[in-house]
Amino acid sequence: MTDVAEAAGVGVMTVSRTFSDAGKVAEQTRKRVLKAARTLGFIPNQAAGALSSRTSRVVGLFIPNLLDATYHQIYRGVVDRLEPAGYQVFVAETRYDQSREEAEIRSMLGWRARGMIFTGSERSAVSRKLLVDGGAAVCSVMTTKAMDGFTAVGFSSVQSMKGLGAHLLARGHRRIALVRSSRLTHPRLKARQDALRAATASRAEFRVIELDADIPFSFRHGADAVDAMLAQFGKGWTLVFSNDIPAAGAILRARELRLAIPKDLAIVGYAGLEIAEAIRPRLTTVRIPKYSMGEKAAHLLIEQMAGRDVTPSADLGFELVAGETT
């Protein structure tokens, strides 16, 4: 560390602060120290620093499932905002399992994580106590409902489904089937289902198709949903998916069976992934601000970790993209 300080023309404490709390070092000085460190091959002992200061530059990002493409852009937004500020992002996969999430929170606290980002605000009593007692800054994404004492950034799932219901009714769709997993009951997904049912109840028939599969659904599961619809209800239904990937799979299956879209089968996705625009016919979907949510959540954490006051909730909205499948 002394060599780095001499090469950068600063004191040893400035080098220490650069790697332990970059926010307290002027940007030009920080760049000079980092350049000297790279030139000399200096690698700071982050674990030792965390032990001595009882904190770290670690932020935990909790993702329900790493296979779900929805979370890739959230991750990019988080990293693009936190890394320039001197933080390192540790990713934990919870798999919608409360006990697994509790274990991962304990692990993050063991690393002296200064902040944590979660999907949704639904935490177990054990998780809530760990977070409150742990003292880390916490932000939830994909929701505008913040946990007590923490922050949230996202959109209203309920309003997005109400908007989708109004769109389907306006397009003349009167038989609507939501596709879900029989293996998972999750509050946020249940809220979407209830909102769509309520939005269409007075003017449309509403059914649920359950697939015996884990989420996130793949292309194959979209095809399975089409087959299940034909077997259970016949043609003329609108299939509503919780992700664009299985919705695209449903389009491919419908084309294989030579079903006319949207006459024989209408299809709706969710998330606004790139495939929704690329596939033909273009998919109707609800586009959510994935990258912006990650970036904004990271910004809120930086402000909280610096001791500054923040607005506890930020609604970034959503966009209903009317494609050719409805």
Single pTM value for the model: 0.85
| Series of mean pLDDT values for 10-residue runs along the chain (326 residues) | 85 79 77 87 62 72 95 98 95 95 96 95 95 96 93 97 98 98 87 96 96 94 98 97 98 98 98 98 98 98 94 97 98
Q: Which fold has domain 56-153+290-316?
A: Rossmann fold (3.40.50)
In the chain, the N- to C-terminal Cα span, in Å, equals: 63
**Would the CA dihedral through 180, 184, 186, 188 be positive or negative?**
negative
Q: Which of 146, 142, 171 is nearest to 156 (CA)?
A: 142
| pLDDT value of position 51 | 47
Question: Which residues are bridge partners to 315 per DSSP?
Answer: 154
Query: Hey, do 56-153+290-316 and 157-287 end up sharing a CATH topology, with the first three levels equal?
Result: yes
Q: Are 266 and 233 in contact (CB under 8 A)?
A: no
Q: State the DSSP H helix or E strand holding residue 125, giving kind and residue range, or none if neither.
A: helix 125-134
Question: Which residues are bridge partners to 287 per DSSP?
Answer: 271, 319
CA distance 179 to 186: 14
CA distance 145 to 141: 9
Strand order in the sheet with 115-119: 88-93, 58-63, 115-119, 137-141, 151-154, 313-315
Q: Which fold has domain 157-287?
A: Rossmann fold (3.40.50)
| pLDDT value of position 205 | 97
CA distance 268 to 270: 7
CA 191, 197, 202 angle in degrees (round to 5)?
Answer: 145
Residue with tokens 């852009």: 73
Domain boundaries, the chain: 2-44, 56-153+290-316, 157-287
